[in-house]
Structure 1
Amino acid sequence: MRDNACAATAPAAAPTRSATGKVWLITGANSGFGQAITRAALAAGDTVVAAVRRPESLDDLAAAHPDRVVPVALDVTDPTRITAVVAEVILWYGRIDVLVNNAGRGQVGAVEETTDRELRDLMDLHFFGPAALTRAVLPHMRRQGSGAVVQMSSMGGRFSFPGVGAYSATKFALEGLSEALALEAAQHGIKVLVVEPGAFRTGFAGGGALRQSAPLDAYEETVGPVRAGLPDSDGKQPGDPEKAAAAILTALAAEQTPLRLALGNDAADAIAAQLKSAGEEAAAWEAVSRGTDFDKE
């Protein structure tokens, strides 16, 4: 049996379709950031394999861009289907230039309110699915000697607050994985970009995209405002998804693509404040931190 390293060095089969520009594989491409990034890639003259649960939701977009938008069915929590989709894209085009791990949803609940099932389901969607997709494309990107992996995180991937512990946990995990990946993959010409948006008008806070754990009265004071405020913010968020997509393409095109890209004034302000606070705390406890080694003989 051939391992991934062998597969990466083997010659690619002749593609069965011709691609215009770069080949993007984008999950959750029918709404929110995924839709905006899809449109930005198309405007740049590229080809998008749009991976969604319901491919028919992209019929109009595919009709408007024949041969440049290819909808495929994918539930990112299905490892077998992940392997099949990546194999299909490589068969069609011979390469994947950009992977965007975007599919996701919101979850509100105190840590005590969040069930094990809710946490595991969210981890499957936000962490294990993107990790599996990333592993599946890496051998092909290494063979190409180029590529980019875009991980859609959140400002909640840098810090957390009451009511979003489960959501932040999944994004913290994705960011940790991605930070290591960036150092490992750079020698192979592969970029890694972690995107950390604030509040954008993506539908994240409304409808079926936001789930809530069963509330406990004990957390009404801390989690209650988030439970009510997030749905109320839907459609009123300051962030423009089209501008976010343009910023992502700009970062990918830069000679030095950043590892992390905060998007939105709220994200920029909150992340800067968190970094300042973390630095102050580290300085305040530095003597204690440094006092735990064995005494020098």
Structure 2
Amino acid sequence: MSEGKLTWLITGCSSGFGLALARPAQANGHNVIATSRNPSRTPELVEKFTKKGGEWIRLDQDEQDCGRVIEDIEARGLAIDVLVNSAGIGMTGPAECFTEEEVHQVMETNFFGPYRLMRAAAPHMRKRRSGMIVNFSSGSGMEAVQSLGVYGASKAALDGITKTLHKEMQDFNVRVLLLYLGAFNTPMVTRTGAVCKSIDPDYEGTTTEKLFTALSTGNFAVPGDHVKATQAIYDVVMGKGIGEGHEKEMILPLGRDMAARIKESRDRLDHMVEVFGEICNNVNVDEAPKAT
């Protein structure tokens, strides 16, 4: 990946990590195809990007045929070397408060959309025996966080399919990378939606209520610098800097709060084994008696 000019397709480029990653990729001479749900909302950004030789196209990953974008690009003779699934949405609220429509909305954008693009890109990369897919996830996909149940579930689903594809594509020299991110200073901090239903007074004073209020108002500490994180992502994709020699890695964690989430998850798993490890190993089918 570190050699030559690559073609990147990046989702969610109107702001945040998508835009932050498109910039260094373009600055380093790569062919970048930026995408957003509605390019007409950011005309100055699109113009500035395209004047530097980039391409900006509409891509709404909630649409069931969004994978057609990849087919159209490949049909033009452009081989997509790097697919970056950066676009996503956040929504907060106690798990019991989500409507069916809200659950579908979060799952469409955070799981089904990226999966559709992965499913379209993987056959082309497999046949070429080269390429890379990068998926953005969150610490709440690894470890449960109160008031982020549905968001965490959407990311956990993305985590599972990403890890599986990583293993399946290894035989074809295609890299698949999962990013576990903590909280970073992107517009998503202030764009986390709240469930429509009012939460029950029973939650007053609970951790769930406190986190719901903080997340829905954007009033919480944001320790991560997304520009620094973006440079780390770019280096790992290109196999340079911190990424040199680590091309086969499956997961890249980023953020001080992400490190704390990893410890929480490890401690929980260690505790589980300590409590139930013996019974875990003693519920097997008995061995058949040996013939005499």
TM over 0.5: yes
Specify which of 253, 256, 260 is matched with residue 246 of structure 2.
256
Q: TM-score, normalised by structure 2?
A: 0.88
SS in 2 for 1:205: helix
Aligned to 2:54: 69
SS in 2 for 1:36: helix
Q: How does 1:129-168 map to 2 (within 5 A)?
A: 129-168=113-152
State whether structure 2 residue 194 is matched by structure 1 residue 211: yes
Alpha-carbon RMSD across the aligned residues, in angstroms, is: 1.9
TM-score (structure 1 length as normaliser): 0.86
Match of 1:125 among 95, 109, 130: 109
Structure 2, unmatched stretches of 5+, are: 240-244
Paired residues of 2:214 and 2:220 also in contact (CA < 8 A)? no
Supply the distance in 1 between the matched residues of 2:99 and 2:208 (Cα, whole angstroms).
16
The answer to whether the 8 Å contact 1:49/1:89 transfers is: no
Partners of 1:206 and 1:268 in 2: CA distance: 23
**Does the 8 A contact of 1:194 with 1:261 survive in 2?**
yes
User: 1:22: which partner in 2?
Assistant: 6
Tell me the alpha carbon deviations over residues 67-111 of structure 1, each in whole angstroms, 9 at most, x when there is no partner: 63211111101122x133112221334200111111111111111
Give 1:268's aligned residue. 259
Counterparts of 1:57 and 1:142, CA distance in 2:
35
Query: Residues of 1 paired with 2:264 and 2:27: CA distance?
Result: 35
Distance in structure 2 (CA, Å) of the matches to 1:123 and 1:281: 29
Query: Residues 275 and 176 from structure 1, CA distance in 2 versus in 1: closer, same or farther, beyond 3 angstroms?
Result: same
Given that residues 97 and 195 in structure 2 are in contact (C-alpha distance below 8 angstroms), is that contact kept between their aligned partners in structure 1?
no
Q: Which amino acid aligns with 1:256?
A: H
Q: Which amino acid aligns with 1:277?
A: R
Greater mean deviation of Cα atoms: 20-29 or 126-135? 20-29
* Number of equivalenced pairs: 276
Q: Which has the higher mean CA deviation after the structures are superposed, 35-44 or 54-63? A: 54-63
Match of 2:242 in 1: none
Offset of residue 137 of structure 1: 0.8
Contact 1:154 1:197 in 2 (8 A): yes
Unpaired stretches in structure 1, ≥5 consecutive residues: 1-19
Q: Which moved more, 1:154-163 or 1:233-242?
A: 233-242
| CA apart distance, 1:230 | 1.8
Q: CA deviation at 1:189?
A: 1.3
Supply the distance in 1 between the matched residues of 2:129 and 2:95 (Cα, whole angstroms). Answer: 43
The residue that corresponds to 2:72 in the other structure is 88
Identity of aligned residues (%): 31
For residues 292 and 236 of structure 1, what CA distance do their matches in structure 2 show? Answer: 46
1:102 corresponds to: 86
Quote the Cα distance in structure 2 between the aligned partners of 1:51 and 1:103.
9
How far is the alpha carbon of 1:60 from its aligned partner? Answer: 3.1
